[in-house]
Structure 1
Amino acid sequence: MKTFLDWPVVRQVRTGDWLGRGPAVTSAKTQHLTPRIADADHVARSVCPYCAVGCGQLVYAKDDKVIQIEGDPDSPISRGRLCPKGAASEQLVNAPNRQTTVLYRAPHATDWTPLGLAEVTDMIADRFVAARRDYWQSEDPDGNRLDRTMGIASLGGATLDVEENYLIKKLFTAAGAIQIENQARI
């Protein structure tokens, strides 16, 4: 049963919370709540995976499972703030339908086949080397030196940060590819 002492103005005077931002306006239910991160085993610093801005994230884990992802207040880029997609990235990690195995669909096949990561890596490397070899151009019809391949192209995504895009550009340029583009620039 509420009494006169439970009125918000009286609580403000009684607790010294003159602006009504602390204990005077905290309900009994709220006083017993604890943050989701209170029982986290450890915290890891990360970068949001969605765009090239590179907002800092704090990833809280308990029993090797992500329980919360928040903005990192020490990040000079985002200063603790995240956009709606970044704030919801915990759902990306813990989604029940998240694909965790590599699937491959062979040419003309109708079904996907799960493959091991080592097998897929070898398959990609073999195809990369074969495309470079099969489409290599040493010189043009006029005898001008080209040293390039037209069998490899790269389209980078906006979710990659500057360092990743730099390394991709170096890799493909070293392989002789000249068709290197980024989604963020198109």
Structure 2
Amino acid sequence: MNIDLSRRGFLKLAGAGVAATSLGAMGFGEAEAAETAHVRAFKLTTTTETRNTCPYCSVACGIIMYSKGDVKAGEQADLLHIEGDVDHPTNRGTLCPKGAALKDFVKAPTRLTKPRYRAAGSDELVEISWDEALDKIARAMKDDRDANMVQVNEDGTPVNRWTTAGFLAASATTNETAWLTYKTVRSMGIVGFDNQARV
């Protein structure tokens, strides 16, 4: 069978085919109309969206957490879903396997949510309040700093070095938080200062 089709006729036929395919893809077809007649609402439309930073490594990927429950009203929020933040410049919505499993990390039954204290000589950890924990940490730091602060070196030059304590900071923070952490640690005289990006 021989089809006699000019170049102009071929272009008209191809244009009509593209137009028909485009109309079908935009939902003007009968099958498309039947499928979209009962649109189901998205699962996450009734949830609270919270942006945060993944806590695992030093890359500081952006995440979006979806939860139900009004925290401002005193309700416990139930975390439903975590995904990468497509607007975040670091990861642009992608997550590594650890970041993708963050929901399990948050909901783990072994996750600690309150500070614990083990007294000297004891083999038992006791839950204490955050105020008690911060008071104990502040007292221990003050006592150590008072006992071990190096005011001047051998030449008599003021140095104000505290060499018996160290500080491990989080690298997955904003620039502002990192700057404040650095200034706080250095103002106390702590020499040993690092973050988990190098650990």
Give matches, 1:1-186, under 5 Å. Answer: 16=24, 36-40=43-47, 42-63=48-69, 64-160=77-173, 162-185=175-198
Change beyond 3 A, Cα 1:159–1:49 = same
Normalized against structure 1, the TM-score is what?
A: 0.73
Question: 2:166 touches 2:193 (CA, 8 Å); kept in 1?
Answer: yes
- Considering only CA atoms, is the larger Rg found in Structure 1 or Structure 2? 2
Question: 2:66 touches 2:80 (CA, 8 Å); kept in 1?
Answer: yes
Normalized against structure 2, the TM-score is what?
A: 0.69
Question: 2:57 touches 2:197 (CA, 8 Å); kept in 1?
Answer: no
- What is the percent sequence identity of the aligned residues? 32
User: 1:130-172, CA deviations, whole angstroms, 9 ceiling, x for partnerless residues?
Assistant: 1111111111233222222223211335545554433322111
Paired residues in the alignment total: 162
CA distance in 2, matches of 1:163, 1:107: 37
CA distance in 1, matches of 2:183, 2:192: 13
Please, which runs of 5 or more residues in structure 2 have no aligned partner?
1-20, 26-30, 33-37, 70-76
Please, which runs of 5 or more residues in structure 1 have no aligned partner?
1-12, 18-22, 25-30
